[in-house]
Structure 1
Amino acid sequence: MQIEVNRKTAKGLLTKASGFLEGYTHTLNPYTGCAFACSYCYVRQMPVALFRSEAWGSWVDVKENAAALLAKELAKAKRRGPVTIFMSSATDPYQPLEYQERLTRSLLEAMIAEPPDFVFVQTRSPLVKRDADLLQALGCRVRVSMTVETDREDIRRAFAPSAPPIPARLAALRELAARGIPVQAAIAPVLPSSEHFAERLVGIVERVCIDDYFMGDGSGGRRTARIGVRAIYDALGLPDWYGPDAFKRVHEQLLRHFPQERVLVSQEGFLPG
């Protein structure tokens, strides 16, 4: 798909966090829009997507002045108290455009110059390992959370064909962990997976977060229902994987391989620290 790229001057970058992310002071989205266009993405039902005529995933807005703006906003915010940042809540900071734009990298550089108390980097892209030098420099102030919704590539292709392959994500997690960068695997949302999913994560990460539409889409699953993602489960003949109890089969599997305190559920897995 050809992506329409728009360049804009942002008026503000740090947004006050609320709701599911109320444990943070701010959210930070380097881009508006996301080329990964995952079928289940809750952002499809948010104003940023609903008020655009173009299909979600077909456009991305680049915030050209982001790094300079962040430096100013960080300095100001830190004068008021601790600053904790969730990056990103409505886009992927390492979507394909980041290869050439290097916008997210510039934001990390700004954070090194003016460090927040904590930044949580949420992505599904192996590109994050490019910035391992900056992530190392942030030390205990950062955690990288890599979305790994399933261990089955056929399932990944059915739900998120434009997203990076699962093996590449796991390899990136392994590399970041080896460099001492705090990481976690985020099984969010839980998609159909194999009985060996938890085994494949052992030895790569020490911490796992699991979430689903019903806990994590901000509306008890109603927002996801409007997207129509249930049809994909039905087409695959896997309707039993769509429901508020489906996550338990993966959760129970994880508890057989990870200490209970290392298996976090929904919001607790995305909080600072």
Structure 2
Amino acid sequence: MNKKYTNSKSLLNKGTGFLKGYSHTLNPYVGCAFGCSYCYVRQLPVQIFRDESWGSWLDVKENAASILEKELVREKAKGPVTIFMSSSTDPYQPAEYKEEITRSLLEVMVNNPPDFLFIQTRSSLVLRDIDLIKQLDKRVRVSMTIETDSENIRKHFTPYAPPIQGRLKALRKLKENHIPTQVTIAPLLPSSKDFPAILSEVVDRVCIDDYFMGDGSGGKRTAKLGVHQKYEELQMEKWYEKDTYLKLYRRFEKHFNSDQIYISQSGFMP
């Protein structure tokens, strides 16, 4: 991992496109060590104009907390502040163990809370910050990405991402601490018929998303990445089709009420 330290001029970016329901997005890092094969960020300028491959580099915003402290005061004076963390990186990737950039940002937000904070991750490291997250009370939701219940499938698509069992255990702990949570099934990876039952034990809210609704380009960015080939390798091409999310939705209806199941953008909104 090629890691370098940077000083940012700003931290809060205006919520646009898929995340237009938020006033701001917030990314503690640039780059992501999990390097998921299907990540739409691979097709964004932040990666296209980089010589290193996605997942092999990371920029650490070491002045992030001091910038956020100033920006929160300024933006809250203008109106409600709702934050999506993070849109193009995982705030709890391995570097966070040492760098604690995300934790420093939470400390700022505890002292001057936004109207709402959405934390998107696939790492159980989020448990380290339960003490801070709890203080945000109903102003926060932790969304844990769990795309499948199969470790073999997970390793095929995201070999450097955290194991599924660790994520499930994290959700149980968050639930025990009465922290609002959800599971984000994004994108749709092949899963078993037991997947809904497994998730129903740890959360009461799920969001189902796929490449066609969620990559910000109707699936064009994902197509350029050649992700379909990874489904072909497993002889599971049907999981890549546009109507697959509806089939998965029907499975989840057996274990969740309709008001507990969200589709794509609606599941990410404040």
Tell me, yes or no, whether TM beats 0.5.
Answer: yes
Q: Equivalent of 1:186, from 180, 184, 187?
A: 184
Q: In 2, distance between residues paired with 1:21 and 1:163?
A: 24
Q: In 2, distance between residues paired with 1:254 and 1:187?
A: 11
Instruction: Tell me the SS of whatever aligns to 2:137.
Output: helix
Q: In 2, distance between residues paired with 1:255 and 1:47?
A: 39
Corresponding residue for residue 99 of structure 2: 101
Q: In 1, distance between residues paired with 2:117 and 2:54?
A: 27
Matches within 5 A, 1:1-273: 3-272=1-270
Q: Any stretches of 5+ residues in structure 1 without a counterpart?
A: none
The one-letter code sitting in structure 2 at the alignment partner of 1:150 is T
Q: Identity percentage over the alignment?
A: 59
The one-letter code sitting in structure 1 at the alignment partner of 2:147 is E
Cα deviation 1:75-121 (Å, max 9, x = unaligned):
00000000000000000000000000011000000001111000000
Using the TM superposition, give the Cα deviation of residue 251 of structure 1 relative to its aligned residue in structure 2, in angstroms.
1.0
Q: In 1, distance between residues paired with 2:156 and 2:59?
A: 26
Q: Any stretches of 5+ residues in structure 2 without a counterpart?
A: none
Using the TM superposition, give the Cα deviation of residue 171 of structure 1 relative to its aligned residue in structure 2, in angstroms.
0.5
Q: In 2, distance between residues paired with 1:52 and 1:236?
A: 31
Instruction: Tell me the SS of whatever aligns to 2:118.
Output: strand
Q: In 1, distance between residues paired with 2:201 and 2:34?
A: 28
The one-letter code sitting in structure 1 at the alignment partner of 2:55 is G
Instruction: Tell me the SS of whatever aligns to 1:79.
Output: helix
Cα deviation 1:12-35 (Å, max 9, x = unaligned):
000001000000000000000000
The one-letter code sitting in structure 1 at the alignment partner of 2:200 is V
Instruction: Tell me the SS of whatever aligns to 2:78.
Output: coil
Instruction: Tell me the SS of whatever aligns to 2:3.
Output: strand
Using the TM superposition, give the Cα deviation of residue 202 of structure 1 relative to its aligned residue in structure 2, in angstroms.
1.0
Q: In 1, distance between residues paired with 2:56 and 2:9?
A: 24
Q: In 1, distance between residues paired with 2:220 and 2:163?
A: 28
Cα deviation 1:206-236 (Å, max 9, x = unaligned):
1000000001100110110001111100111
Using the TM superposition, give the Cα deviation of residue 250 of structure 1 relative to its aligned residue in structure 2, in angstroms.
1.4
Using the TM superposition, give the Cα deviation of residue 179 of structure 1 relative to its aligned residue in structure 2, in angstroms.
0.1
The one-letter code sitting in structure 2 at the alignment partner of 1:64 is E
Cα deviation 1:151-190 (Å, max 9, x = unaligned):
0100000000000001100110110011000000000111
Q: In 2, distance between residues paired with 1:260 and 1:200?
A: 17
Which runs of structure 1 show a deviation greater than 4 angstroms over 4 or more consecutive aligned residues? none
The alignment's TM-score, normalised by the length of structure 2, stands at: 0.99
Instruction: Tell me the SS of whatever aligns to 1:271.
Output: coil
Q: In 1, distance between residues paired with 2:68 and 2:175?
A: 27
The one-letter code sitting in structure 2 at the alignment partner of 1:18 is T
Using the TM superposition, give the Cα deviation of residue 243 of structure 1 relative to its aligned residue in structure 2, in angstroms.
1.4
How many residue pairs get aligned? The number is: 270
Q: In 2, distance between residues paired with 1:139 and 1:84?
A: 14
The one-letter code sitting in structure 2 at the alignment partner of 1:108 is L
